[in-house]
Amino acid sequence: MLNAIWLGMVLVSITVAAFTGRMDALQKATFDGAKSAVYLVVDLTGSMVFFLGLMRVARDGGLLLAVSRGLAPLLRRLFPDVPADHPAMGAIVMNIASNVLGLGNAATPFGLKAMVELERLNPKPGVASDASVLFVAINATVIHLLPLGTFTVRAGAGSLAPASIWIPTLFATFASCTTAIAAHFALRRLPSYRLEAFSALPGAQTPSVVPTPEPEVPGPREVVAATRGGRVLIWGFAAAFALALALHVLGGLKSSSAGELVRGILATWLVPALIAFLLLVGVAGRVRVYESAVEGAREGLEVAVRIVPFLVLILVAVAMLRASGALDLLIGILDPVTSRLGVPAEALPMALLRPLSGSGAFGVMSEILKAHGPDSFIGQLVSTYQGSTETTFYVLAVYFGAAGLREGRHALAACLLGDLAGFAVATAACHLFFG
């Protein structure tokens, strides 16, 4: 579907430009779009390398294992058909914990492993079991506690408050995930979606689309207690930070309202506090902080290199749409309807592309931030959209392919309902915080 969308964007742009006499602008936009994509990656690389380095420190320090242990009781209730000591349950816990923390690279191997193990428990091979559908629905709409990628893009676009969308994103992603879970439990009862209505598909138990590498198991550093010096550093910093925050609040109340003060603290104190928290998690786990951060930074550099082709192609297509006048035409048609729902038409390309392609949506968001500004309402809205859901069609294709599943039952419907809820709550939250 993404192939058709991208091809349509390019051909529609050329056609409209031909009729409107904007071929010269279209030609210029083609080269400018490609150039701006590369410049964008250069701007993002530093932040991406730094924050992925910090996440590696926190992971090595035990944050991933702690979140996994916290999620385990809930996940056992959501997946009652999966034995607690089965390999599938261990992979499910680690996958969702990694996703919650924004460790997408670490989450995927666990997810592939979980799908293969769930298929071994499946009474109807080739047809997605209830557990497989629920697992995919959670992965496509998983709650992100730390949308660091979106923060990074906003910082690269010149935002004065890159983390200002954190709370709206939490609201949106929580709504998306809970809606997808509720939709799964509701839809699976319908006669057309019941597992009994499907026959096992022959030859479906051999995964052939995606390899399933063994997940990286957390090392022993994650269970090591902090040294005495480490505890002194942690508690000393926490006390100093709390004192400074208290003084800031007391001073701010004299000149600002409580609401303005809270918004200001979230906008300017959140990222430094997050940096300190991630580093101190590493200190608590006796991690060699600098060396661990360097290893994570290498991963960040690899990610930056991988997204260059996707960004170039998408940003060129968007630049062509804008230069040809096709985007203005589309906005003029949709705006009377979407504006009544609180959604500016300029944000619709992001909302439509997000379930189809993570990199494509990343590129569209970057283009919108550049055109309207990262701290404008539209910039805040599309940034929240980016963090509210995952790439639904990619998750379905990769995870079902890994397990050799050919019939997904109600998985797509549950995921899309989650996406819709996420976008609706993201819109409402942005109006509440930024409108």
- Would you list the DSSP string of 355-391? TT-HHHHHHHHHHHHHHH-TTSHHHHHHHHHHHH---
Question: What mean pLDDT comes out for the span 228-235?
Answer: 92
pLDDT band at 222, cuts 50/70/90?
very low
In the predicted structure, residue 1 carries a pLDDT above the cut 70: no
Q: Which two tokens stand for residue 308?
A: 């260059």
The total number of residues written for the chain in this structure: 435
Three-state SS at 307: coil
Residue boundaries of the structural domains of the chain: 41-224+287-301+358-434, 225-284
Of 208 and 31, the one with more pLDDT: 31
Contact 13, 323 (CB under 8 A): yes
Question: What mean pLDDT comes out for the span 15-25?
Answer: 92
CB atoms within 10 A of CB 158: 13
Q: Report the chain's terminal Cα–Cα distance, integer Å.
A: 34
The model's pLDDT over 310-354, given as tens digits with 9 standing for 90+, comes to 678 877 887 888 788 887 787 778 777 777 888 887 888 787 778
User: Which residues lie below 8 Å from residue 385, measured CB to CB, with a gap of 6+?
Assistant: 172, 347, 350, 351, 354, 361, 365, 422, 423, 426
Can you say whether residue 289 is alpha, beta or left, with left for phi > 0 and alpha for psi between -120 and 50 degrees? Answer: alpha
pLDDT at 425: 93
Contact 162, 274 (CB under 8 A): no
Question: What mean pLDDT comes out for the span 4-20?
Answer: 88
Q: Which of 73-87, 143-157, 257-271 comes out lowest in average pLDDT? A: 257-271
pLDDT at 326: 85
Contact 422, 399 (CB under 8 A): no
| Cα pseudo-dihedral 275, 280, 283, 285, rounded to 10 | -110
The model's pLDDT over 45-91, given as tens digits with 9 standing for 90+, comes to 777 788 778 878 888 888 878 877 888 888 889 999 888 878 888 88
Contact 33, 316 (CB under 8 A): yes
In the predicted structure, residue 93 carries a pLDDT above the cut 50: yes
Half-sphere exposure of 332 (CA within 13 A, CB side): 6
In the predicted structure, residue 214 carries a pLDDT above the cut 60: no
Q: Which of 352, 299, 279, 349 is nearest to 320 (CA)?
A: 349
pLDDT band at 14, cuts 50/70/90?
very high
As a whole number of angstroms, the distance between CA 105 and CA 126 comes to 27
Q: Which of 101-105, 184-188, 328-332, 420-424 comes out lowest in average pLDDT? A: 101-105
pLDDT band at 240, cuts 50/70/90?
very high
Q: What angle do CA 294, 298, 301 make, to 5 degrees?
A: 135
Question: What mean pLDDT comes out for the span 116-132?
Answer: 89
In the predicted structure, residue 177 carries a pLDDT above the cut 60: yes
Instruction: Write b or e for each residue in 341-372: b if 16 or more Cβ atoms lie within 10 A of its Cβ, otherwise e.
Output: eebbbbbbbbbebbbbbbbbbbbbbbbbbbeb
Q: Which two tokens stand for residue 260?
A: 């303005």
Percent of all residues in the chain with a pLDDT value above 90, rounded to a whole number: 24
pLDDT at 223: 52
In the predicted structure, residue 218 carries a pLDDT above the cut 50: no
| Helix and strand numbers, DSSP H then E, in the chain | 19, 0
As a whole number of angstroms, the distance between CA 421 and CA 427 comes to 10
Of 78 and 108, the one with more pLDDT: 78
As a whole number of angstroms, the distance between CA 234 and CA 231 comes to 5
DSSP state, 286?
T
pLDDT band at 138, cuts 50/70/90?
very high
Q: What's the sign of the alpha-carbon dihedral 22, 24, 29, 34? A: positive
Angle between helical axes of 2-20 and 308-324 (0-180°, round to 10): 30
